[in-house]
Copies of this chain bind each other. A is one copy, B any other.
Amino acid sequence: MTESTSDQQLLYVNDQLSDEEIQREADLYGPLTDSVRGLIAATLQTEVGESDVRRARALIGEAASLLRAKAIPGPYGVRWGASGRKRGWGNAADGLRNAVAPPLNIRTDPDGRARTDFHLGPQYEGPAGLVHGGVSALILDQVLGDAAVAGGTPGMTGTLTLRYRRPTPLGDLYAEARVDRVEGVKTIVVGHISGSDGICVEAEGVFILPRWAREAIAEQNASTAG
């Protein structure tokens, strides 16, 4: 870790918010993020000419200026409020406030399972008309990691192996994962993405909680309790 102590404090924030205040934030910023997702697709698909593009850029710039008037200076990090529930709203795979992320509503079970129905629009393309192999990797990394968390043995990705069995079509898809076994500090998780024709991509991940992360969590828990 190269962050200084003050950066670390910005990345792990106990903002004291109540569950009601957190819900209000979700209701405020969630639809904003969705509107940006729509704009990303429109930007990719548009065929309008120079004057309309110029006008759109001006509107986008005006919106960004409004939003930047009061903003955090860096990444979102991890925040938690009164109830202690963690929010990773900046997460690239499933962050509520991250327009790069497709809306993933990952459901988990305490026996170490995670699953999600999701939809991938034109901004997730790799080969023509198909999901980018790396986007499948992004979603599987997240779903497998969430299964490890759900099973009580969280970790950062140590290794991730992906087998692409058939092309993954853009559109409605499903992903699931389950903890296969735990070996010391390693949690081995397996999962897949499937479309209407069956399994498209299989994954196996090894999730490890490194020493510095275990120490940071212990410190956080101490400060949450304090």
Residues of A within 8 A of B (CB): 1-3, 7-8, 11-12, 28-29, 31-33, 35-36, 38-40, 42-48, 50, 52-53, 55-57, 59-64, 66-78, 88-93, 95, 97-100, 122-129, 132-135, 137-142, 145, 156-164, 167, 169-170, 196-197, 213
Contact = CB atoms under 8 A, between A and B. Distances in A.
B28 A50 contact: yes
B170 A164 contact: no
A15 to B, nearest CB: 11
A167 to B, nearest CB: 7
B67 A46 contact: yes
Instruction: Give the 8 A-B CB pairs with smallest separation, nearest first.
Output: A134-B138, A137-B137, A134-B141, A133-B157, A46-B67, A11-B128, A59-B63, A42-B67
Given A48-B67, A67-B42, A75-B122, A129 B53 contact: no
A55 B1 CA distance: 39
Count this chain's copies in the assembly. 2
Which of A39, A76, A78 has the largest number of chain B CB atoms within 10 A? A39
A60 B1 CA distance: 37
A91 B62 CA distance: 27
Contact of A164 (B50, B60, B98, B157): B157
